[in-house]
Amino acid sequence: QASQEELKAAYRRLCMLYHPDKHRDPELKTQAERLFNLVHQAYEVLSDPQTRAIYDIYGRRGLEMEGWEVVERKRTAAEIREEFERLQREREERRLQQRTNPKGTISVGIDATDLFDRYDEEYEDVPGSSFPQIEINKMHISQSIEAPLTATDTAILSGNLSTQNGNGGGSINLALRRVTSAKGWGELEFGAGDLHGPLFGLKIFRNLTPRCFITTNCALQFSSRGVRPGLTTVLARNLDKNTMGYLQWRWGIQSAMNTSIVRDTKTSHFTVALQLGIPHSFMMVSYQHKFQDEDQTRVKGSLKAGFFGTIVEYGAERKISRHSVLGATVSVGVPQGVSLKIKLNRASQTYFFPVHLTDQLLPSAVFYATVGPLVVYFAMHRLVIKPYLRAQKERELEKQRENTASDILQKKQEAEAAVRLMQESVRRIIEAEEARMGLIIVNAWYGKFVNDNSRRNEKVKVIDVTVPLQCLVKDSKLILTEASKAGLPGFYDPCVGEEKSLKVLYQFRGVLHQVMSADNEALRIPKQ
């Protein structure tokens, strides 16, 4: 975004710094010539609107292409950008055609009631009765894929299989969705299964206002008992920035009316819902607290009461790797008993394991369902997950260092040469700043700092950048923009792929100050 005037000013300043005629030492003169040529090449590219547009879009690769394969030479900067945006749209459409967006769920129900609900007299004469029987009593598998046909049309194929206590079935569905405008879309659905007959459905979504939308779903289910029609309508409205209100009406096999309010903020998620229907009517309140840590920990609890009884649920979930989230929920209800639900989300796949522990309200079952998963998680996290992630991160960093080793070595040599060439200019700047009691950089370091006790085993990797920073001082001010500081004259990256900071100890008006700045953070000293 720099203007031509800013580019000229930076070019003049660097030319004065690196001009070969200003250095008598043969070695310094050679280094100055190399850096001076680099500055001149950069200015030649950036001062021409056409080559600058190519560089901004394609980088150095675009400039090095012979025959101007990227774009015709006669085009203006605006035309080059327009061409780039057109090519980008085409690439996006090709990516859209290739994307299937697969989603899947695998659920395995486990019956572990024999751990708590044992009747000793029934087991006295049964061989092996001293061991509790734990068995899988139900399974469910579902999968769906999306196939974009055009920019507005998408085909969605989904299927599922379920089994419980030896009986099961499955179904397959095909939906065709068309985005009709920026305000809505429509979807046609066709389905068939071995437990139910053919299904035909129509779903419509429409934004009524910028803060309100409606969804309507009509379905016809064919079976041996005849045709079963169904209709579901949802009206939703933004009550404020973080709150949504929903009204739902369902008519058909299980008719019901439902109203709910959902409030979602950066630190919490709150839901209250009320449903009146046949056969289920209930009231539900749930709350989830989101911790602002790198593992995205969440703690949740809910209360649900209705004609079926009362259920209290509480649990937590946490990110265990870049693409995986692990969660556990304890469910205590009357007459449902006690259950433990374990869920693992891996990218777009969900693995769900509901474990039914007892049909009664037993304190021992609640205790083990709560404490057991915590003990197992912390043991696994400390002994398996954490060492694995640390080793994986080290491998990635090592690979990144190997790939950039030659480039970083060249940058280091250029930075060291630039520092040597800056010495005379820096001496003059310091003299001028001392005379006016201005800004003097006493010490400055750039790289990886270890201030946290939990990271005390990690190695500090910093370079001294006192001279390059002092060289950037102008009129008793130092201004750095929002960009990686590794690209500044006299800087280089001392720790590729790791978090970096800039630490500056400076003197202004005869008083010492210290400031710490993140790598991509803008910096202006002296502070106001």
pTM of this structure? 0.65
Q: Chain-centre distance of CA 187, in angstroms? A: 29
Look at residue 457 in the predicted model and tell me its pLDDT: 57
CB distance 114 to 132 below 8 Å: yes
Whole-number Å distance between alpha carbons of 436 and 120:
93
What six digits make up the tokens of 166?
A: 């030896």
275 touches 304 (CB < 8 A): no
Residue 362's Cβ-count burial label (10 Å; 0-12, 13-18, 19+) is middle
pLDDT at 57: 74
Question: Within 19-110, where are the H helices?
Answer: 26-47, 49-58, 60-64, 77-98
Digits of tens for pLDDT over the chain (528 positions)? Answer: 788 888 998 898 888 888 888 877 888 888 888 888 989 999 999 988 878 887 877 777 767 654 344 455 446 667 777 776 777 777 776 666 556 778 999 999 999 988 887 654 454 555 555 677 888 989 999 999 988 888 789 999 999 999 988 888 899 999 999 999 989 999 999 999 887 789 999 999 999 999 999 999 999 988 877 888 999 999 999 999 999 999 999 998 789 999 999 999 999 999 999 999 887 899 999 999 999 888 889 999 999 999 888 999 999 999 988 788 999 999 999 988 999 999 999 988 999 999 999 988 889 999 999 999 999 999 988 898 888 888 888 888 888 778 778 888 888 888 888 888 888 888 989 999 999 889 999 999 999 887 665 455 566 688 999 999 998 888 888 988 888 888 888 898 888 888 899 999 999 998 999 999 998 888 998 876
Any residues with CB less than 8 A from the CB of 139 and at least 6 apart, and which? 106, 107, 108, 109, 161, 162, 163, 164, 168
Q: Which residues in 490-517 are b (16+ Cβ under 10 Å) and which e?
A: bbbbbbbebebbbbbebbbeeeeeebeb
Domain boundaries, the chain: 4-62, 99-107+139-254, 407-525
Contact (CB, 8 A) for 310 and 330: no
Residue owning tokens 């009664």:
360
DSSP 20: G
- In angstroms, rounded to a whole number, what is the distance separating the alpha carbons of residues 53 and 70? 12
Q: For residue range 334-383, what is the model confidence (pLDDT) as tens digits?
A: 988 999 999 999 988 999 999 999 988 889 999 999 999 999 999 988 89
Decide if 82 contacts 327 (C-beta within 8 A): no
ω into 279 cis (within 30 of 0): yes
The pLDDT value recorded for residue 120 is 47
Which pLDDT belongs to residue 65? Answer: 57
Superfamily of segment(s) 4-62: DnaJ domain (1.10.287.110)
The answer to whether 289 and 270 are in contact (CB under 8 A) is no
- pLDDT tens-digit profile of 171-221? 999 999 999 998 999 999 999 988 778 999 999 999 999 999 999 999 998
Query: Which class is domain 99-107+139-254?
Result: mainly beta
Strand 135-148 to 153-164 pairing: antiparallel
DSSP type of residue 280: -
